Amino acid sequence: MRFGERGEWYVVGQFALLGLLGLALWLTPSVSPPWLTGWGRGLAWVGLGVLLLAAWQLGRNLTALPKPRTGGYLVQEGLYRVVRHPIYCGVLLWAIGSSLAHLNLWTVGLSTLLFGLLNWKAALEERFLEQLYPEYPDYKRRVRKLIPWIY
């Protein structure tokens, strides 16, 4: 199997953007007012909680790649009953919250790029899931997307 066939480039891009966002949060000045800093930190903690809970609920199915693990199954319980990609939701809530808490052009720009990349990654993952799981079309009809007009 060649590099990229399972969506590896999306993972490389995702972790690169997360790393750059982490650096921007650490190295760049913030212009966020105190009230927005508090709201942003709260949102970031909620996002981290959603991310960790969703990862735990995936269990042995957890992978950073858009292509599901061989021998896995379609998780439809917990957060996955409410939204189709709760880990991406958690990552985005963390990124947006962190960007609000440490407001500047770099953090907002990197969060925006991360949003676009995760949207493309989710669209690829949707195609893989439809190919692997016959029950996915029904699940897709019942469970909403993170943001309705995206992917």
pLDDT for position 2? 79
Helix axes 34-58, 86-101, angle to 10 degrees: 160
Taking the C-alpha atoms of residue 150 and residue 145, their distance in angstroms, rounded to an integer, is 8
Q: Give the pLDDT band of residue 5 (cuts 50, 70, 90).
A: confident
How far apart are the two ends of the chain, measured CA to CA in Å?
26
Please state the length of the chain.
Answer: 151
* pTM for the whole structure: 0.90
Mean pLDDT across the chain, nearest whole number?
92
pLDDT for position 1? 65
pLDDT for position 84? 92
Helix (H, G, I), strand (E, B) or coil at 149: coil
Is the model's pLDDT at 77 over the cut of 90? yes
Domain ranges of the chain: 8-63+74-142
Residue ranges of alpha helices (H) inside 1-151 are 8-27, 34-58, 86-101, 105-132, 136-142
pLDDT for position 113? 97
Helix (H, G, I), strand (E, B) or coil at 145: coil
Taking the C-alpha atoms of residue 72 and residue 132, their distance in angstroms, rounded to an integer, is 10
